[in-house]
């Protein structure tokens, strides 16, 4: 599930269709390739981007500028990243770990729990499926 929902049009006069977008580099007006269930990649234009808690059946797989079209008209994305930026919980957690945040034992509510301290305070980031909790503690706690 993506919280970034791009509304796309498959033709200039067509209806807007909501699709998931896991790329922070997609903007209104971009030509993108959309993957729908049991269908091949289809070009579309982004007309609006919104932040919603929706689960859409379609997904932006890449930009048209990153793709190639074969002689039969089929689009292919070779080395195109599916996720760009901090667009998923997994990417966010990996980025925190890469910056020195230390994983904590988590409860059943959270996907991950991480902590970090400086000279005077500590912070905990608790990642849920539908959000993030941030806890700032006024005392330094040792990272385990």
pLDDT digits (tens, 9 = 90+) for 66-115: 998 889 888 988 888 888 998 889 999 999 999 999 999 888 889 999 99
Question: What does the block give as tokens for 143?
Answer: 């990272």
The residues facing 35 across adjacent strands are 59
Total-model pTM: 0.78
Q: How many of the other CB atoms lie within 10 Å of CB of 70?
A: 8
Per-residue pLDDT for 10 more than 90? yes
> What letter would DSSP give residue 103?
E
3-state secondary structure 9-65: ECCCCCCCEEEECCECCCCCCCEEEEECCCCCCEEEEEEEEEECCCCCCCEEEEEHH
């Amino acid at each position: 599930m993506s919280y970034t929902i791009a509304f796309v049009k498959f033709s200039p006069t067509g209806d807007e269709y909501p699709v998931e977008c896991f790329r922070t580099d997609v903007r209104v007006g971009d030509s993108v390739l959309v993957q729908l269930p049991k269908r091949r990649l289809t070009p579309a234009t982004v007309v609006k981007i919104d932040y919603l808690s929706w689960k859409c059946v379609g997904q932006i797989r890449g930009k048209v500028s990153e793709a190639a079209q074969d002689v039969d008209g089929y689009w292919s994305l070779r080395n195109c990243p599916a996720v760009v930026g901090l667009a998923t919980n997994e990417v966010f957690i990996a980025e925190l770990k890469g910056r020195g945040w230390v994983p904590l034992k988590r409860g059943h509510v959270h996907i991950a729990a991480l902590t970090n301290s400086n000279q005077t305070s500590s912070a905990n980031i608790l990642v849920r499926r539908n959000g993030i909790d941030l806890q700032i503690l006024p005392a330094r706690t040792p990272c385990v």
